[in-house]
Amino acid sequence: MSIFKINKQSKKSSARTGVLKTNHGDIKTPFFMPIATYGAVKTQSSEDIQKLPSKILLSNTYHLYIRPGTEILTKAGGLHKFMNWNGLILTDSGGYQVYSLKGMRKISDDGVIFQSHLDGSKHKFTPEKVVDIQRVIGSDIMMMLDVCPSGNASKKEWVDALELTTKWASRAKNHFDKTNNLYGHNQIISPIVQGGTDLELRKKSADELMKLNCDMHAIGGLAVGEPKEEMIKVVKFLDGILPIEKPRYLMGVGTPSDLVESVMNGVDMFDCVLPTRNARNSQLFNFDGKINIRNSKYSDDMSPISNGEFCNMSKQYTKAYLHHLFKTNEILGLRIATEHNLKFYMHIMNEMRNKINNDTFESWAESFLARYNK
């Protein structure tokens, strides 16, 4: 049975709405996943995330493997129970985090030997072990181990990463098919298309990974240093290659304008650290771009943080008060800013779903991008 149903396809672009079906509930697409790297969205409780509203969050296999570890997660009965979360969880494979440990890891055909960033202890990830760890985590959607080079890597690095990612994907799918879930709910596994910004390599990667007949496909290796135009070019190119009937996940992207442009090019799923990370650095997203609430001009600004269109908490406090909280390092400031940014992202996703369903998405997108990018 298909996990994905398209409800509405735009006639003017590749934007579409649909439903992704899992044992932890159905979720409307396109959607954005708040980042819960260690099993928590910074400054937010599981109940807070539900009220954004969001039915899904993203955690990281590498970080959960390092701490708290598979023994604790097994004892807890998986990450859902450990963090008191009844919604969906997607876990990244940790491949990007391992790859970023330059000087502390060694990649071979078999897998990756790396040192923990915490204590320097040695560990090994293979495609099979990463599946096993995600079985213990109990994520609804698990990602295959891949190699993710930077956006300015050489073509040879892109080719090597692509070939190894494809080999590992075949092994991961084979192991996934031979193993069972541990907590009574079905799990989905996804390969990750690589190839840098080289369209020929992207096609090769996608063609090879589609042979695995997985339920969804992810686009990796973008938003890692390449120009934005190159990122959108790759997404638009893959829109014509990846199967229409399966959900598409653009990993690690991005700004509000990135989301809008990518939905226009057929992407269904997103995640990014920007709304939470920027919030902790005093940056707030809104319809006119973003502001830095630490700027002195907000010290006596008694207007609401926002008009309440998407975030009631932002309507309750003034810009001057939030400026004060950041200047005095009060934790409440981080909480208000984080909720503001996450709710702004959720509002945008909801607007896009509504506009696609009402056949007004393209005109709305044009207006939004003109205002946001001015």
Q: Is pLDDT of 279 > 90?
A: yes
pLDDT of residue 105: 82
Do 266 and 277 fall into the same domain?
no
The residues, ordered by sequence, that sit 6+ positions from 297 with a Cβ below 8 Å of its Cβ are none
Both tokens of 150, joined, read 């930077």
Total structural domains in the chain? 2
Query: Does one domain contain both 295 and 235?
Result: no
If asked whether residues 68 and 94 sit together in one domain, one would say yes
The pLDDT tens digits of the residues spanning 139-198 come to 999 999 999 888 888 999 999 999 999 999 999 999 999 999 999 999 999 999 999 999
When the pLDDT of each residue in the chain is averaged and rounded to a whole number, the result is 95
362 vs 219: CA distance, rounded Å:
23
Q: What is the pLDDT of residue 90?
A: 98
Whether residues 185 and 57 share a domain: the answer is yes
Are residues 145 and 126 in contact, defined by beta-carbon separation less than 8 angstroms? yes
Per-residue confidence band for 30, with pLDDT thresholds at 50, 70 and 90: very high
Shared domain check, 371 and 235? no
Q: Are 219 and 209 in contact (CB under 8 A)?
A: no
Q: Which residues contact 61 (CB under 8 A, 6 or more apart)?
A: 91, 92, 93, 94, 130, 133, 134, 137, 142, 143
Mean pLDDT of 70-77: 98
26 is a catalytic site residue: no
- Are both 183 and 215 inside the same structural domain? yes
92 is catalytic: yes
Q: How far apart are CA 239 and CA 278, in angstroms?
A: 29
Q: Does residue 9 register a pLDDT over 90?
A: yes
Confidence of residue 1 (pLDDT cuts 50, 70, 90): low
Query: Domain boundary residue among 246, 271, 296?
Result: 271
Kindly state whether residues 27 and 99 are assigned to the same domain.
Answer: yes
Question: Do 229 and 286 reside in the same domain of the chain?
Answer: no
Q: Are residues 219 and 321 in the same domain?
A: no
Active-site residue identified among 26, 92, 258, 301: 92
Taking residues 72-98, report their average pLDDT.
Answer: 93
- Give the end of a domain, one of 271, 298, 332: 271
Residue corresponding to tokens 């240093």: 225
Q: How high is the pLDDT of residue 153?
A: 85
Question: Do 317 and 29 form a contact (C-beta atoms < 8 A)?
Answer: no
Q: Which of 271, 290, 323 is the last residue of a domain?
A: 271
Could you tell me if 218 and 250 lie in one domain?
yes
Using pLDDT thresholds of 50, 70 and 90, give the confidence band for residue 95. confident
Instruction: Find out whether 286 and 372 touch, Cβ atoms under 8 Å.
Output: no
Give the separation between CA 144 and CA 52, rounded to whole angstroms: 29
| Contact call for residues 150 and 230 (beta carbons, < 8 A) | no
Q: What per-residue confidence (pLDDT) applies to 99?
A: 66
Question: For residue 117, what pLDDT is reported?
Answer: 86
Q: 5 or 96: whose pLDDT is higher?
A: 5
Where does the pLDDT of residue 350 fall: very low under 50, low under 70, confident under 90, or very high at 90 and above? very high
Beta strand pairing call for 105-107 and 112-115:
antiparallel
Cβ neighbours around 205 below 10 Å, total? 31
Q: What's the pLDDT tens digit per position in 297-344?
A: 999 999 999 987 899 999 999 999 999 999 999 999 999 999 999 999
184 plus 286 within the same structural domain? no
Which of the four pLDDT bands, split at 50, 70 and 90, describes residue 283? very high
Mean pLDDT of 1-7: 92
In this prediction the pTM is 0.96
Least confident window among 20-34, 85-99, 116-130, 228-242: 85-99
Please pick, among 140, 146, 239, 271, the residue that the annotation labels catalytic.
Answer: 271
User: What is the extent of the structural domain holding 242?
Assistant: 4-271
Q: Is the omega angle on the peptide bond into residue 247 within 30 degrees of 0, that is, cis?
A: no
**CATH number for the domain harbouring residue 108:** 3.20.20.105
Same domain for 319 and 188: no
